Structure 1
Amino acid sequence: MGGAKRPKPSSDPAKWEAFYAPLVKLLKNQQGQLETLLSERKFLEKWIKKQHESWTANQRAYETHISELKSCLEEKEMELLMVAAKSELMVGLKHRESMVRKLKLEETEDELTDFRALFDLLTASPKKTEEPDQGTGSRRRTRSSTSKIAAPDTESKRLKLKYENLISEKNAEIAMLLKEKTFIWNQFNMLESKLTKKLKKKQAEVDQANDKFAQVHTTVEQLRSSNIEKDVTIAKLQSSNTEKDEVIEKLEARASELSQELEDLKKKSQAVVTPVLRSCKGMAVKTVKKELTAENVRPNGKGSRRSKRKGDGDDAVIIMESPPKLFTSSFRVPKLKNSSAPV
């Protein structure tokens, strides 16, 4: 039974390889681009999340710092108000004490002037009583004068002693009052100097706190502006990510289309490589004897052979209508030997 010669599609696989190679390369490049885009997108997402977390943490820290500074400023203002109220109260008390001391001093001075007037009046009254008694007798006058003079002298001495004692007491009181006044004024001046120093120190602290608050406010404004800029950049990155997503989707669709086309091309190439053979008409079959090892038969005639290809590289079908040529004209029949030896 004869077999058909299969065509040699030598040029077709090379063509398909040359066609497949750029497609595979393009798909690999697109796959690499997609992987790089995905990695960049993940990196950008992580970076944006980290930046947002750091910005939120900084904003919270600055807000807590600002609240602490505000509370410290309020406490310092309350302390300053309390110190000012204490100083005003102390000044009022010292002023009251000084007024009381002045009133006491004025009263003692008035009493002293009254006592001096009384003493002058008492010292001047015996002289006036002696003048009307000058017309009497010398004895009687001398006796009465000596008796009258002795009594006022003792009284005047007693009054002088009282006056001196009173003056010494009043002078001692005045000296004590003056000492207390000087001490109070010194204490008041010391307290005033301390309070002024404290006020200056608190004012310097308040100024420093205001400067710090201004710096923090400027930093907060800068952070807000930077947050706005970062939000703009995030929006731009998100828009670019959406664009990249669209590009990735397009590339994936294109890759799926190319893979589908590649599968179709593979199927077509398989159909081209495996031809369809039909049954041959008028094929001659020769029978040989069992003792012969081979059969050599020359064909009776040349059969018509026709091959038909359909499509321009799509589908090719080879139809064999005539029996294939088994031997050529130059074929020689080999010599046969009998299998059994002669008797």
Structure 2
Amino acid sequence: MRTLSFNLLKRAALILAVSSTVLFSACSKDDDEDMSGDETITEVVVKNSSFSLLETALVHAGLTGVLEGAGPFTVFAPNNDAFVAAGLDTDAKIKAIPVETLKKILLYHVIGQRIPASGIATGSNSPVKTAANLDVFVTKNAAGVFVNGASVLQADVMASNGVIHVINTVLMPPAGNIVEAAQANPNFSFLVAAVLRASQGSTNVAQVLSGQGPLTVFAPTNQAFMNAGFANVAAIQAADPAVLTSILTYHVVAARVFSSDLTEGAKPATVNGATVGISLAGGAKVKGNKNTTASVIAPANMVTTNGVIHVIDQVLMP
């Protein structure tokens, strides 16, 4: 298993070196040596009490030895608060995750190159290949550095074999496209029913949401559909496909938009052709033209292979 992990990291390093010259500015060998700490990434994690849950995860996944290796590595490291927010607030819950699943999650936080914050070029959602052989999307702007919309709380914790950037979220690798992610989530069963019913009309909405993208979907929960007058799945299945298509395409933006991309007062255009309104005071919200109040966006930044999903508590009305 350790050999497999090292191979993944080496492959990620090669891909990164070839593909990320625009995103990352080069660091000289002397600069790299000046930034090196005395301890390996694993040792930094073990000695920092705010990484105790990350330590548990690394041990359970068998990756402590990997991150003691020569590297160099960059690790976006979730702190304990990030694990708690992800529902992984105890060692037992972390150890209940299958080893291979947890290994993939953790390798999704690792890049096979030392990348200090100063080496990240200003820009939005630049794809970077991780050791899980999946992209994360890195943004650097006036507000800071973000990865998949997650904030870097502390950058440049230096180690002898790389660098750690502390983040406030456990990054979950995409398990499928937008439709597949919705189908796997029981809280989106009404949304899935609406997509399937709408696809019986002139527009194959399911095909659109399964396409290459990138797309951003503001995804109403089952309760949001019930509050909008769809009492159950049967009510959705009886609705006019054209009406559902108009509503559903109003929830889709033809771009990858993480929470870190949202700005106060923005009015992004939707696939429907109309715009939605964004507000950030008191937390990110999105409002439809015919909604009396804005919908809370929470949780945000569910990454899929063709975009991102933000969960909302109202159905947006164009």
Q: Does the alignment reach a TM-score above 0.5?
A: no
Tell me the TM-score normalized by structure 2. Answer: 0.14
Q: Looking at both structures, which has the greater relative contact order when contacts are Cα pairs under 8 Å and sequence separation is at least 6?
A: 1
Q: More helix by proportion, 1 or 2?
A: 1
| Structure whose alpha-carbon radius of gyration is higher | 1
